C-alpha cells in the first residue's frame, strides 16, 4: 500500500519532532503494510514553509538511515501546498513540489473556508498540465456547511483526498459522517494518513479502511488505493461521476 499524505519528516513543521519519532512512524507504517510513503510537509503557509531544498536534504539523509536500520519502506518527496495566489509560478520554478515528481499537486485549503479564487487556481494548475488534489476536504468548515462547494471544484477538474483518521472517527463523528458521504458521492479520489505523530495524530491508515469495509465500500477502497499507486506511476486517476443527491437534508447537520 501507498500513503500519499504524511508529516513524518522531523523538525520541519507540526509533524515529527525528532529523527527517533520519524523512525517510529515509519516502522509503524511498515507494520501496517505500507510499502511506500510520500512526505508532504506544509509549504507556503503562514505558520510553516518547508522549502524544496529542506525536503530533498531530509529525504536523502532519511533514505540512507532507513537502509542502515533495515526499514523496508520507500520514502518519496512532496509538499502539502497551502492555497495561494502565486502557486502556478512556484510550481513552474520547482519551489512548489508535486507528489513524487508526478503531475499531482497536494493542495491545502484554509480550514474554515473555500476562498472565492480557489476555482481559478485549480483551472490554472490544470492548464499547466497538473492535477490538484484537495487535502482532507472533510475537515474544511466551508465544505461541511455546503458539500456542493467540493462538487464544484471536482467538476472543474480537481480531485480530493480523504484521511484515515477522519474515517476512523479520530476527529469526531461529524467529520467521520461527512467523510463517508463525500466518498459515497464520488467526490473523493485518493487516501492518506496525514500522520503527524503516534500519539495525537497517529497513522490510522488501516483503521480508516476497516471502517469503509464495515460500510460495504469494498470497490471504493480498490479505487482509492489504485489511484494512490497512479500517483507514483504518474498516470491518470480512475474518476467516477459525482453523485450528490439533491436536497441538504441528505447531508444532515454537520457541526465543526
Task: Kindly give the confidence (pLDDT) of every residue in the chain, 256 residues in length, as a single tens digit, with 9 standing for 90 and above.
Answer: 999 999 999 999 999 999 999 999 999 999 999 999 999 999 999 899 999 999 999 999 999 999 998 899 999 999 999 999 999 999 999 999 999 999 999 999 999 999 999 999 999 999 999 999 999 999 999 999 999 999 999 999 999 999 999 999 999 999 999 999 999 999 999 999 999 999 999 999 999 999 999 999 999 999 999 999 999 999 999 999 998 766 555 555 444 4
Q: Domain spans of the chain?
A: 2-239
CATH superfamily of 2-239: Metal-dependent hydrolases (3.20.20.140)
Residue whose C-alpha cell is 530533498: 56
Contacts of 38 (CB under 8 A, 6+ apart): 2, 3, 4, 5, 6, 75, 76, 77, 78, 99, 100, 231
Residue whose C-alpha cell is 500500500: 1
CB atoms within 10 A of CB 20: 10
DSSP classification of residue 195: B
**What is the spatial order of strands in the sheet that 131-135 belongs to?**
42-43, 80-82, 104-108, 131-135, 159-163, 190-192
Distance from chain centroid for Cα 253: 25
CB atoms within 10 A of CB 82: 20
Amino acid at each position: 500500500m501507498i500513503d500519499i499524505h504524511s508529516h513524518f519528516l522531523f523538525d520541519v513543521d507540526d509533524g515529527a519532532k525528532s529523527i527517533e519519532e520519524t523512525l517510529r512512524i515509519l516502522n509503524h507504517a511498515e507494520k501496517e503494510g505500507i510499502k511506500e510513503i510520500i512526505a508532504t510537509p506544509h509549504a507556503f503557509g503562514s505558520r510553516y514553509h518547508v522549502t524544496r531544498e529542506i525536503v530533498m536534504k531530509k529525504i536523502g539523509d532519511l533514505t540512507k538511515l532507513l537502509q542502515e536500520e533495515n526499514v523496508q519502506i520507500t520514502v518519496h518527496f512532496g509538499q502539502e501546498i497551502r492555497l495561494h495566489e502565486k502557486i502556478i509560478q512556484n510550481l513552474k520554478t520547482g519551489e512548489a513540489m508535486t507528489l513524487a515528481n508526478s503531475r499531482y499537486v497536494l493542495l491545502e485549503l484554509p480550514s474554515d473556508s473555500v476562498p472565492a479564487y480557489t476555482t481559478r487556481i485549480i483551472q490554472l494548475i490544470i492548464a499547466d498540465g497538473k492535477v490538484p488534489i484537495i487535502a482532507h476536504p472533510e475537515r474544511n468548515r466551508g465544505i461541511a456547511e455546503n458539500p456542493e462547494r467540493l462538487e464544484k471544484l471536482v467538476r472543474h477538474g480537481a480531485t480530493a483526498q480523504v484521511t484515515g483518521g477522519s474515517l476512523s472517527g479520530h476527529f469526531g463523528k461529524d467529520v467521520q459522517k461527512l467523510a463517508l458521504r463525500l466518498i459515497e458521492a464520488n467526490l473523493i479520489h485518493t487516501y492518506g494518513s496525514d500522520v503527524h505523530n503516534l500519539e495525537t495524530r497517529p497513522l490510522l491508515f488501516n483503521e480508516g479502511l476497516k471502517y469503509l469495509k464495515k460500510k460495504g465500500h469494498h470497490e471504493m477502497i480498490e479505487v482509492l488505493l489504485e489511484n494512490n499507486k497512479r500517483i507514483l506511476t504518474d498516470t491518470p486517476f480512475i474518476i467516477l461521476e459525482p453523485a450528490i443527491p439533491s436536497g441538504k437534508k441528505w447531508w444532515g447537520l454537520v457541526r465543526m
